[in-house]
Amino acid sequence: MGKIFLAKTNKGLSFAAFVKDHNWLDEITDFFKKRDILLDHNENKFRLEKNLFDNYFKGKKESFHSLPIDFISGTPFQRKVWLETRKIPFGKIGTYKSIAHKLNHRGYRSIGQALSRNPLLIVIPCHRIIGSDGSLTGFGAGLEVKEYLLRLERGEASA
DNA sequence: TACATAAGAATAG
DNA sequence: CTATTCTTATGTA
């Protein structure tokens, strides 16, 4: 399916996304640079994460709830949305509207906006959020990925 | 303050 | 019923 770029602080995982191309990596590294976060290329530190993702892509109900995460970016609102999204159980889906409702918000669109900036793909299952009519509205990493992930959770994955 | 948004609702076909 | 357009609210820079 592709490679996944992971980044973590000493507090927890802070970034996870599919690697697009080299240029994309530059942007990410730049992102961390601006925050004075040094990147240490040490894959050994990601044993746990790797294992979790491995489970997930095997179709196991990995919720990542045990994985410590660290929001290096994000406004209070975004975090609320992310945390709420994270509560969605494996295999289930939610709508922007439902999230908004839980947060006592009327800003459906803002939910999507927050999710679009989700730095923790999969860990925060933004792919489980779809439009109120059941349509896949959008996805940062590409709708293909979203579709794939949803099928994966339905047990129809084909890698 | 102005811009952008992964939505929604409404309308037309 | 589906496709298309328009509207509105909210977050962010």
pLDDT in tens, A34-80: 888 888 889 999 999 999 999 999 999 999 999 999 998 888 889 99
Q: What whole-number distance in Å separates Cα of residue A112 and Cα of residue A130?
A: 9
Global pTM reads 0.90
3-state class (DSSP) for residue A130? strand
pLDDT band with cut points at 50, 70 and 90 for residue A83: very high
Query: Is A11:A36 a contact under the CB 8 Å cutoff?
Result: no
A89 DSSP assignment:
P
Q: Is the CB of A129 under 7 A from strand B?
A: yes
Q: What CA–CA distances, in Å, run from A47 to A52, A71, A105, A122?
A: 9, 20, 38, 17
Q: Which nucleotides of B are covered by protein (CB under 7 A)?
A: 4-9
pLDDT of residue A22: 84
A33 vs A126 pLDDT, higher one: A126
Q: Pick A131 or A2 by higher pLDDT.
A: A131
Give residue-wise pLDDT tens across range A92-151.
999 999 998 888 788 888 898 999 999 999 999 999 999 998 899 999 888 889 999 999
Distance A91 CA to B2 C1' (A): 40
